[in-house]
Amino acid sequence: MVGNSKMNIKLITDAPKHNLALMRLSSKLKNEGHNVFLGTPQDPCDVSYGSWLFNQSYPTDYAGGVAVDPQLRLPLNGYKPDYSLFPIDYSLGWTWEYCPRKCPFCVVPKQNNPKEHHSIWEFHDTRFSKIILLNNNTFTDPQWRETFAEISEAHLTVIDQNGYDLRLMDLEKLNYLNSTKFEGLLHFAFDCIEDESEIRQGLKVLQGVTHQVQVYVMVGYPNGRWIDETDIVRCQIIADAGFDPFIMVYNRKIRSKEPRMAQLNQFQRLVNRIFIWRKLGFTKAWQTYRCADE
């Protein structure tokens, strides 16, 4: 960390919209009297910090983020985000970082996040009428009802960025979601066919939702494999429940011209052509579309 003398400190990230770690770090450094700014690799400075979500793109004096070390955590508790760092019009933070799921494709289990509940008032700025919760699995928080109560009492609109666990849906949770104001879509996921029973029950409950919904279907895990029957079945289950699946291809680093990646991209194009699979069903639509595209 930096010393006591006043410095010009550059923060840099590959995050497209905001970076909570840098926003909290900025508050800490400014509180210590330093001049802090969000910069580019070419900007001169005394000290630089990088927070990387995807790749450690440029060298900095200090580097962190999930692309560097998912377990690295700076001592930033107690510092509200510096909302002047990014041009955003919403509050940003988490009330619950922990997720009990051990999905092998997810970085969250590697982060060793604590099982600690937080109030929205630890990061919410009253200038904003909207809030993003960066929670990893809100409904596994024993105090999730308190979070929704605080949001309701503050008359906030939620921007759902990380989504909710479809396997945990019940009528009580549905009522809380329906009574909350949201901007944009509500997000859920059906990643593994092994969860079929719980997902079917969750989808049945979700049919009573009053918001627009998007259900992610991850394909291509772990090594850019071919589309198989379980991918088609998952999409059909979602469609039969009255929702549209949204394909998320795992590991886009695989070259798109490789045969396996080409098929994943082909399947993604099919799902985007709603009029085809709604008419034929997924199995027949995939067979027809694949033959026509080869």
The full DSSP string for 67-98 is TT-TT---S-TTPPP-TTSS--SSEEE-SB--
Query: Which pLDDT score, from 0 to 100, does residue 5 have?
Result: 81
Q: For 41-86, write each residue's pLDDT tens digit.
A: 899 999 999 988 887 778 889 888 877 776 667 767 779 999 999 9
- Encoding tokens for residue 136? 């990893």
- Do 189 and 292 share a structural domain? yes
Residue 39 lies in a domain: yes
The predicted structure's pLDDT at residue 250: 80
- Which of the listed residues 28, 54, 82 is the one where a domain comes to its end? 82
Q: What is the pLDDT along the chain (294 residues), one digit of tens a residue?
A: 565 689 999 999 988 899 999 999 999 999 999 999 999 889 999 999 998 888 777 888 988 887 777 666 776 777 999 999 999 999 999 999 998 898 888 888 777 788 999 999 999 999 999 999 999 999 999 999 999 999 999 999 999 988 999 999 999 999 999 999 999 999 999 999 999 999 999 999 999 999 999 999 988 877 656 677 888 899 999 999 999 999 888 865 544 455 556 777 788 888 877 877 887 888 888 878 765 555
Domain boundary among 21, 49, 82: 82
Q: Is there a cis peptide before residue 70, judged by omega within 30 degrees of 0?
A: no
Is 197 contained in some domain? yes
Residue 250 lies in a domain: yes
Q: For the chain, what percent of residues have pLDDT higher than 70?
A: 90
Same domain, 263 and 238: yes
Give the span between the Cα atoms of 150 and 42, in whole angstroms. Answer: 42
Range of the domain at 207: 183-294
- Whether 148 is covered by a domain: the verdict is yes
**Global pTM?**
0.85
Counted domains in the chain: 3
Q: Is residue 272 part of a domain?
A: yes
Same domain for 236 and 137, yes or no, is no
The answer to whether the CB of 163 falls within 8 A of the CB of 106 is no
Q: Is 143 helix (H, G, I), strand (E, B) or coil?
A: coil
Closest CA to 123 of 169, 88, 163: 88
Same domain for 100 and 51 = no
User: Does residue 117 fall inside a structural domain?
Assistant: yes
Query: pLDDT digit string (tens) for 152-189?
Result: 999 999 999 889 999 999 999 999 999 999 999 999 99
pLDDT score recorded for residue 24: 93
Radius of gyration of the chain (CA): 21
For residues 43 and 5, state if they share a domain. yes
Kindly provide the b/e burial profile for residues 24-44, where b requires at least 16 CB atoms within 10 angstroms of the residue's own CB.
bbbbbbbeeebebebeeeeee
